[in-house]
Structure 1
Amino acid sequence: MIAHPSVVGPMSVGMARALFSMRQRTLQDGTPVSVFVLPDAAAEHDQFVKETLRALPYQLRSAWDRQVFSGSGRSPVTVSSEQEMLARVATTRGAIGYVRRELVDGQVQIIVIE
């Protein structure tokens, strides 16, 4: 998981799951969160959801759809590539997302999930 340098880590699996499912709208310090994800069909999305969030991608999509259709929330911002993910997370205060570890540069920080 990656984050804007302003985001404080580490983070529990439960907190990460709540943020990515859009149930939690602020970080631990009260900063509004901006969530960025890759398209549902991306292998990196599938791997992140299963291994890091310990959920299934369809469960995440279902949670987003329920919130959007009920008017109680919104879905995360979908970016087209890991490079776009890095750029958007690096320039958006309170942003979180995910990329392969080898792509992480000095513009974002890695958040450890406990």
Structure 2
Amino acid sequence: MAIKKNTGRFIVFVCLLLSMLYAVGIARATDQYEIITHPGVTEKTLSKGSLRAIFGMRLHTWSDGTAIRVFVMPDDTPLHTAFSKEKLNVFPYQLRSAWDRLVFSGTGQAPYTVASPEEMLAKVASTPGAIGYLNKSMMDGRVNVLHIK
């Protein structure tokens, strides 16, 4: 009887520990990121509506005429989920659905997907007109921060 009781307590403890670690991981991904652009992008602030249009692949050029190149993380990453929900007010699956409609109808394209934060930084820093998002801890001055109003 004592073994079953201790085993049950251990399982509850492990479940609580795992849920706390998961919550900490999501919090770390969600509260410390910025919208970034290529250094050549002249915009320093952007409305939330314009940001939604850019990541919805409906706004194609910056105010100076430079083509916008959108970079995103994979749909299942915590940073992409946080960005989608907090900045765009949509779920990642809703973004994917909108992008798929554009691609399958032949009226547009999906954003470029990068595999890691390091690749996001490298691509946005080296691609004229690029926009993406990145954890603050990864930023090193090669990209500009875009303020959303």
TM-score scaled by structure 1?
A: 0.96
Q: How many residues align?
A: 114
Structure 1 counterpart of 2:21: none
Kindly indicate which of the two structures has a greater share of residues assigned to helix. 2
Kindly indicate which of the two structures has a greater share of residues assigned to strand. 2
Structure 1 counterpart of 2:40: 6
Structure 2 counterpart of 1:46: 81
Identity percentage of aligned residues:
53
Matched, 1:86 2:121: yes
Q: Which segment is superposed worse, 47-56 or 36-45? A: 47-56
Structure 2 counterpart of 1:57: 92
Structure 2: runs of 5+ lacking an equivalent:
1-34
Could you list the runs of 4 or more consecutive aligned residues of structure 1 that deviate by over 6 angstroms after TM superposition? none
Structure 1 counterpart of 2:9: none
Q: Distance in 1 between matches of 2:136 and 2:47?
A: 19
Output one character per residue of 1:53-85: Cα deviation in whole Å (capped at 9) or x when no partner. 122211111110000000000000000001000
Q: Give the structure, 1 or 2, with the largest relative contact order (CA under 8 Å, sep 6 or more).
A: 1
Q: Which has the larger radius of gyration?
A: 2
Q: SS state of the match for residue 66, structure 1?
A: helix
TM-score scaled by structure 2?
A: 0.74
Structure 2 counterpart of 1:28: 63
Q: CA RMSD in A?
A: 0.8
